[in-house]
Structure 1
């Protein structure tokens, strides 16, 4: 039996989420498929990668060591499958802005690939809050922006959603809420709550809290994702944040678990924005085409394969 990419993906998902059931939900497959793949991997390696308990799975020392190798293999496979098609004919410059979340958790990887794809396109990059981005798009100071599209207000701003990132409950390891079979906002309401404020995350959060006429028990409002991560990991509270900014470990090395809620919790939508009626340059078309190919084409292919 040889090692497969499928086994590595399932192993990484279980390692990051801390529960086989959550890994299965994240991967949109059966729980038994994840369990089987991990067992096959452990048999092949001749070691236990996880310690199993009623609360979930925890990496062994060998498991933590293997996780680093799994990341490297999956990263290499991703790069091999996405070999850049260098286009030296596309030329020009683009003034591209991004909000904090897009800048920190999305753009660096794509900027490196854009440089490979379009070596003759120059990207002038800026980071602004959403309101300033809208103002600068309208007055022509910037050409395009990557934003949280649900936060846009100005009617003269056109947006194109690229993907949605699910928002889930963040909890410290072995939190009592992880034992509940169903989990709703009512269960979270009395818990100490860490409210992220950057990129209007607090405004977005209150949209779904207000739907249930509930108020979170906020003990801290902070613009720092790392502060939220550390507070949750150290058992000081819980949070509801998107998968885009999720990492399973805090800076102190403590684990954070996630859990989907049964209530309507709107996902975070990320996309491109520009001024209505903006004349696209060759460089702007290239940037937009890149993001469409990366995010929208795979979704369209998935829909087609499902229909067929």
Structure 2
């Protein structure tokens, strides 16, 4: 039996898994669909397992296929890491993929990125915003080089460094009656980021511990949308004071302190534990 798996087969396998379709993968690679099917069949013959469930809508990974995809990503990352080590001349260059929460991206990163770009113009900075959980998963799956998250993390594969500490406040529009008790917000609509956002998690935990239920929730992917909806009187939210301070000073929003056990949140910069640290990432970390 052939004991060699060629990288092209793994590239095709990963693309089929990503697209959920053999025909879409063939179209993207400009290959005949039969060639893609043959490569997948060769992999399945080699491992003697089914890697995909076939159906009328396309394909989905089997449990064994999910395992192979995980190791395929590790293989490609190892190749990429090896290439970087061989070519590394200690001059920061190439892409640097940074993940961040919307709040950190809005307040802290413009100045940090501007300073970094000025000092290392050969590095292509790529910013991807998402929830804390999404950023952690993207780090573990090698989709990001580093990410800013809220709250601590316990994972042996990840290194974390303190970036700053945020103070959370309850935020409302100015037309809403003054809040004197937590019970005043019981029936209010919560304006929040999608599940996986640490600030949303804190807000829901706070209300739950007070015996209150969040019956009305509106989710938005962007900070601008959340701020706009609060200003329009659609609901309330829990956000860092650094994000809303200018709106409060302008008389557009109103904020209220919350209990000390919930108000302070550490913001961390995380990255995978690597045998080799790219110079571009090392310089980025050293900058803060």
1:166 alignment partner in structure 2? 167
1:226 aligns with 2:227: no
Checking the alignment, whether the CA contact within 8 Å between 2:100 and 2:127 is kept in structure 1 is no
Checking the alignment, whether the CA contact within 8 Å between 1:196 and 1:225 is kept in structure 2 is no
1:109 alignment partner in structure 2? 111
Q: After TM superposition, what 4+ stretches of structure 1 lie above 6 angstroms from structure 2?
A: none
CA deviation string 1:234-281 (max 9, x = no partner): 33432222224325449xx97111121245324343221011245323
Classify 1:156/1:211 alpha carbon distance in 2 versus 1 (closer, same or farther; 3 Å). farther
Q: Computing the radius of gyration over CA atoms, which structure comes out larger, 1 or 2? A: 2
Equivalences for residues 93-242 of structure 1 within 5 A:
93=94, 95-101=96-102, 102-150=104-152, 152=153, 154-173=155-174, 175-177=176-178, 180=180, 184-190=181-187, 192-198=188-194, 200=197, 201-218=199-216, 220-242=218-240
Residue 215 of structure 1 aligns to a residue whose secondary structure is coil
Checking the alignment, whether the CA contact within 8 Å between 1:169 and 1:258 is kept in structure 2 is yes
Whole-angstrom distance in 1 between the partners of 2:259 and 2:130: 34
CA deviation string 1:125-181 (max 9, x = no partner): 44455445334433444322222244x564422211211211111122264325x4x
Whole-angstrom distance in 2 between the partners of 1:140 and 1:262: 37
Task: Flag structure 2 segments of 5+ consecutive residues without an equivalent.
Answer: 1-89
Whole-angstrom distance in 2 between the partners of 1:133 and 1:235: 30
Classify 1:135/1:260 alpha carbon distance in 2 versus 1 (closer, same or farther; 3 Å). closer
Residue 262 of structure 2 aligns to a residue whose secondary structure is coil
2:281 alignment partner in structure 1? 284
Whole-angstrom distance in 2 between the partners of 1:207 and 1:155: 26
Checking the alignment, whether the CA contact within 8 Å between 2:191 and 2:219 is kept in structure 1 is yes
Whole-angstrom distance in 1 between the partners of 2:149 and 2:270: 7
Equivalences for residues 35-114 of structure 1 within 5 A:
90-93=91-94, 95-101=96-102, 102-114=104-116
Checking the alignment, whether the CA contact within 8 Å between 1:163 and 1:271 is kept in structure 2 is yes
2:19 alignment partner in structure 1? none
1:12 alignment partner in structure 2? none
TM (norm. structure 1) is: 0.52
Whole-angstrom distance in 1 between the partners of 2:171 and 2:98: 29
Whole-angstrom distance in 1 between the partners of 2:264 and 2:147: 20
Checking the alignment, whether the CA contact within 8 Å between 1:170 and 1:241 is kept in structure 2 is yes
1:84 alignment partner in structure 2? none
Checking the alignment, whether the CA contact within 8 Å between 1:172 and 1:257 is kept in structure 2 is yes
Whole-angstrom distance in 1 between the partners of 2:279 and 2:133: 27
Whole-angstrom distance in 2 between the partners of 1:125 and 1:232: 26
Shift of 1:95: 2.4
Whole-angstrom distance in 1 between the partners of 2:130 and 2:218: 24
